[in-house]
Each structure stands twice: as C-alpha cells, then as structure tokens.
Amino acid sequence: MSQVEGLSVSRRDVLRHLALAVTGAGSGVFNLEAARVVHALAGEERQMGQYVPKILTPREFATVSRLAELIVPSDAGGGSGLEAGAPEFIDLLCSQNDSLADIYQQGVRWFDETMSQRVDTGFIEASLADQTELLDALVEAEEAGGGGEVESGVRFFDWVRRMTVDAYYTSPVGMADLGYQGNEVLSQFGVSEEARAFVTRRIEQM
C-alpha cells in the first residue's frame, strides 16, 4: 500500500477531489484549504527523508522540478517553485487523476524529444541557455495566438506554469512572498495576461 493509499479517508478525499477539479469543468476554483492539505502531505514525507514520487517517473519528476525552478526562480525576491514544493504538489495531484498524469507524462516526453532535436540532449541535461530558449519559443508561439509545430509544448507549458504558480502561492513560502513588494516572480518567460488573471483569482481566494 502506498502512502497516498494509506491516508485517512478525509485527507485522501480532499486530495482526490482537488485533483479531479484541476481537469474538470470547475477547474480554476479550488480553495486554499484543500491546497494546504496537499502541501502538508508532501511536507510530512519530506520531513521523514526524501519525497518519493507517487506516479511520475524519476525523470518526469526531475523535469517538472527543473521547470518549477525556471517558472518561479528564487532570485525573484522570494523562494522558488522548487522550494515551495511545486513538483510534489503536482505529483500528488497526478497520482489521483489519470488524465492529469497523462498530460504531464506526454508533456515531459515532448520536452525531451524537442530538446533532443535542437541540441541532441534531453531537457534536464540541456544548458540553462537552451532550456530558456525553448521556453521563450513556447511563450512567443502562445502570444502569437497559436503554436504551430510547438502547439503540444505550448499546451503543456501552460499547464505546468499554472500549476506551479498555484502550488507556489498556496504554499507557506509563497504566502510569505505575497507581502514582498515589487515581486517579479510572474514575469519569467513573459507570462500571459490570461495566466496573470488566473493567479489574481487564486490570491483573491486566499
């Protein structure tokens, strides 16, 4: 039995309901208290040692971790998406939602295949410059109103960006950062106005 399966009914139900809401018709409206449960579950496991991914493979988890660092960097005035526990937050939700897990598994595969075509290496092995160049290309394609050959990457990056920001601003690290004046955390990779509005709704719910 996994640690997720061994949770109390109430905590397991909160995790499952939140996970399903992410891809459901009502996605974008989950509350802070539910998100706190997810952070608490991940935090408890980190305190016992090292978090073990529940559904993402080690490579998938490492890729999500690197993306979390790039999307919410620690040099933005507060903690990073990695420090806020975004990868664990995402993995726990994916473990309770097969559709969400599929989005991340296919998305990571796209990042690796695309980076390999560009520089003959996987995404996490690529240099910071190459990683940033790929993310910038996705943002440019998004802002152009489409995606073309990178449409799959644009869709996945939108998912991981939104969920990383969700995880950040519902974590203890991110909530403390809400008081930081002049925070530029969302300017990385030209976050769209749509994504900014999404984050604003999250903050208002707090």
pLDDT in tens, 52-107: 999 999 999 999 999 999 988 886 566 788 988 999 999 999 999 999 999 999 99
Using 50, 70 and 90 to split pLDDT, how confident is the model at 2? very low
Report the pLDDT value the prediction gives residue 190, as an integer from 0 to 100. 45
Look-up: residue for tokens 């939700």?
93
Contact by Cβ (8 Å): 185, 78: yes
Q: Is the pLDDT of residue 134 over 70?
A: yes
Going by C-alpha positions, the residue among 110, 18, 102 that lies closest to residue 63 is 110
Average pLDDT over residues 120-125: 97
Contact by Cβ (8 Å): 14, 34: yes
Report the pLDDT value the prediction gives residue 116, as an integer from 0 to 100. 97
Q: Is the pLDDT of residue 131 over 50?
A: yes
Q: Is the pLDDT of residue 184 over 80?
A: no
Report the pLDDT value the prediction gives residue 156, as an integer from 0 to 100. 94
Q: How far is CA 127 from CA 83, 94, 120, in A?
A: 21, 28, 12
Percent of the chain with pLDDT strictly greater than 90: 38
Q: Is the pLDDT of residue 33 over 80?
A: no
The C-alpha R_g of the chain, in whole angstroms, comes to 16
Using 50, 70 and 90 to split pLDDT, how confident is the model at 183? very low
Taking all residues of the chain, what is their mean pLDDT, rounded to a whole number?
78
Cβ density class 146-160: b for 16+ within 10 Å, e for less = ebeebebbbbbbbbb
Report the pLDDT value the prediction gives residue 179, as an integer from 0 to 100. 58
User: Per the structure block, which two tokens stand in for 29?
Assistant: 């409206």
pTM above 0.85, yes or no: no
pLDDT tens-digit profile of 135-166?
Answer: 999 988 988 887 678 999 999 998 998 888 88
